[in-house]
Amino acid sequence: MGRVTLQTVADEVGVSRMTVSNAFSRPDQLSDALRTRILAAAEELGYCGPDPAARALVRGTAGSIGVLMTDPLSHAFTDQVATGFLGAITEQLAPTGMALTLLSSATDGELVPARDVPLDGVLIYSCDLGSAAVDWLTKRNIPLVFVDQTPVRGVPSVNVDDRSGARAAAQHLVDLGHRRVGIVAADHAGPHGVVGTADDPAEGHVTRQRLLGWTDALTPAGITPLVVRESLDTEDRAYRSGQVLLDHDEPPTAILCWSDVMAHWVIRAAEDRGLDVPGQLSVVGFDDSPFSRQMRPALTTVRQDVAEKGRAATKALVSAIERVRAGGAPPRPRHIVLPTELVVRETTAPAP
């Protein structure tokens, strides 16, 4: 037998091509008995159903939403915060039947994923809003939701209260009597790996908010923190950042970290120098990832609800997509801010 098509199945069952198509894409249009007979014939003939690309073209939908990330896509599978966020998205998407497509802001030759991949909408997740990828998505005029981004008028956005969480973490150290405080911040803006100040411009929205929160508590106490920035949240860079701070002429007695992973490697750097945590050095993370609770000593950190962030962002995007499909005006953009909470565990103690 030659190539099996929609018409082949229609001829076998004795119905129209449209009836066979409805059996796959609009089952409510057929009786259960007829649909069962068509699907059985299709299976016997080896027909898998209408071509997905052609079906999307007819419907005017792609059946998929994208998540645009600045970090390498491998980060989505190795970082517990990213995996928790993406897991919540897929859970929220399950009833809709839509798929999830990961997009990198990088290009691959002539392929520009943000421009060329069929999508019904996109979550812009902690990206440079001036990137070419964001520009292409905006030009495509598809629904967008910003996550961990600076809110933009007319675009739904979801953030956590980074500033409040960072302020609580820094105030905790001030209340413990620490007056020499270091900060390890993740930022794509240079210079990296050297001591700077909290006043240096920060590229990312999350980093800016956390720096503001940390200094909200430190500045009134007369504390000027030592700040080291790194472009990627990786083991060797975070470890080196800890070394840089501990090598300073007046090393800190406490270090605030941009993430739990960074905090872990700062602690490793301290322990490799024979320092006791928290007896000689207090360390605070951010995220309250599962990793932080497995550490020994257990990490003092700031909790953000990563799963709720993923659910809220997906709800906003699906709502916008459904309104567009129905031919109505997009829903009024909302800015959702989720709370943070300081979780005190075993890596902080009074200043030595």
pTM reported for the whole predicted model: 0.81
- Which pLDDT belongs to residue 24? 77
H/E stretch holding 167:
helix 162-175
Which residues constitute the domain of residue 16?
Answer: 6-50
One domain for residues 144 and 254? no
- Which pLDDT belongs to residue 59? 54
One domain for residues 203 and 261? yes
Q: Is residue 238 part of a domain?
A: yes
Q: Is residue 298 part of a domain?
A: yes
Q: Rounded to 5 degrees, what are φ and ψ at 241?
A: -60, -40
Exposed/middle/buried for 77, CB within 10 Å: 0-12, 13-18, 19+? exposed
Q: Is residue 352 part of a domain?
A: no
Q: Is residue 56 part of a domain?
A: no
Mapped onto helix, strand or coil, the DSSP state of residue 278 is: coil
**pLDDT in single tens digits along all 352 residues of the chain:** 567 887 888 888 899 988 888 887 777 788 989 888 988 888 888 887 665 555 554 555 678 999 998 766 777 777 888 899 999 999 999 988 889 999 887 655 555 678 888 899 999 998 877 788 888 888 888 999 999 999 988 899 999 999 999 999 999 999 999 999 999 998 766 556 677 777 776 678 999 999 999 999 999 999 999 999 876 656 788 899 999 999 999 999 999 999 999 999 999 999 999 999 999 999 999 999 988 888 889 999 999 999 999 999 999 999 999 888 777 776 678 899 999 999 999 999 999 9
- Which pLDDT belongs to residue 51? 59
Exposed/middle/buried for 237, CB within 10 Å: 0-12, 13-18, 19+? buried
One domain for residues 102 and 213? no
One domain for residues 70 and 193? no
- Which pLDDT belongs to residue 92? 94
Number of structural domains in the chain: 3
One domain for residues 16 and 73? no
Q: Is residue 257 part of a domain?
A: yes
- Which pLDDT belongs to residue 290? 87
DSSP per residue, 99-166: EEEEEESS-BTTB-HHHHS--SEEEEES--TTSHHHHHHHHTT--EEEESS---TTS-EEEE-HHHHH
In CATH, what number is assigned to the domain containing residue 319? Answer: 3.40.50.2300
One domain for residues 200 and 331? no
One domain for residues 245 and 313? no
